[in-house]
Amino acid sequence: MTMRITGGEKSGLRLSTFPKNIIRPTRDMVREAVFNTLGDSIRDASFLDIFAGTGSTGIEALSRGASDATFIENERRAADVIKKNLAITGFEGQSLIMAADYVRALKKLSSRKAKFAIIYVDPPYQSGFYDRCIRLIDEGELLIPNGILIAESFKKMDLLHKFGYIELTREKLYGETRISYYINTKE
């Protein structure tokens, strides 16, 4: 499977990947649709990519003008691919890779008072991690007021419509993939 950056400064650049059975990367078409939906809100935004896989989503954010990207990925081989892809794109200086379990990484970011304008959550579809992950983001106040959280899931999965201050605003289907857009309503 080949992956490429779909827009921005590094548009068309191919990224490294690895066998499909290790991770399930976000398809180029879905990633492009998400970033087209985000439009200019990505400019100068701090981006958090949770369950980052190859890093393609966070790298896409950087290519389209995000100020920085943090990647959380527990699988060591995937974290190595993220590092390689950041070197390919030249975005190492704008990035932080946290090779850790998402719970530990989110708690560490919260203790550092980290804040993100856009957060992308894409765990393994059958993992059951969605609720806990988004609740940790809300409780840790990691998403800025009016910040956007995007959850990628299997189309037949029903995610909650509200996680504390984080509320669902819209959903869109792309084949077997559901993209859910949330906003932080906390003032």
pLDDT of 14 higher than 90: no
Q: Which amino acid is at 7?
A: G
Mean pLDDT for the stretch of residues 84-104 = 95
pLDDT at 180: 96
- 124-134: per-residue pLDDT in tens? 877 789 999 99
Q: Is residue 13 part of a domain?
A: no
pLDDT at 143: 98
Q: Is residue 24 part of a domain?
A: no
Q: Is residue 28 part of a domain?
A: no
Q: Is residue 11 part of a domain?
A: no
- 40-71: per-residue pLDDT in tens? 999 999 999 999 999 999 999 999 999 999 99
Q: How confident is the model at residue 80 (pLDDT cuts 50, 70, 90)?
A: very high
- CATH code of the domain covering residue 82: 3.40.50.150
Q: Which amino acid is at 116?
A: F
Q: Which amino acid is at 184?
A: N
- 110-119: per-residue pLDDT in tens? 999 999 999 9
- 146-185: per-residue pLDDT in tens? 999 999 999 888 888 999 999 999 999 999 899 999 999 9
pLDDT of 144 higher than 90: yes
Number of domains in the chain: 1
**Burial class, 61, CB count within 10 angstroms (exposed 0-12 / middle 13-18 / buried 19+):** buried
Range of the structural domain that residue 96 is part of? 46-184
Q: Is residue 37 part of a domain?
A: no
Measuring CA to CA, which residue among 173, 167, 98 is closest to residue 181?
Answer: 167
Task: Spell out where the chain has E strands.
Answer: 3-4, 14-15, 46-50, 68-72, 95-98, 116-121, 143-154, 162-163, 166-174, 177-184
> What would the two tokens of residue 90 be?
């030249």
Q: Is residue 84 part of a domain?
A: yes
Q: Is residue 166 part of a domain?
A: yes
Q: What is the separation of C-alpha 45 from the centre of its chain, rounded to a whole number of angstroms? A: 13
Check: CB of residue 122 under 8 Å from CB of residue 134.
no
Q: How confident is the model at residue 187 (pLDDT cuts 50, 70, 90)?
A: confident
Q: Is residue 17 part of a domain?
A: no
> What would the two tokens of residue 99 be?
């090779």
pLDDT of 11 higher than 90: no
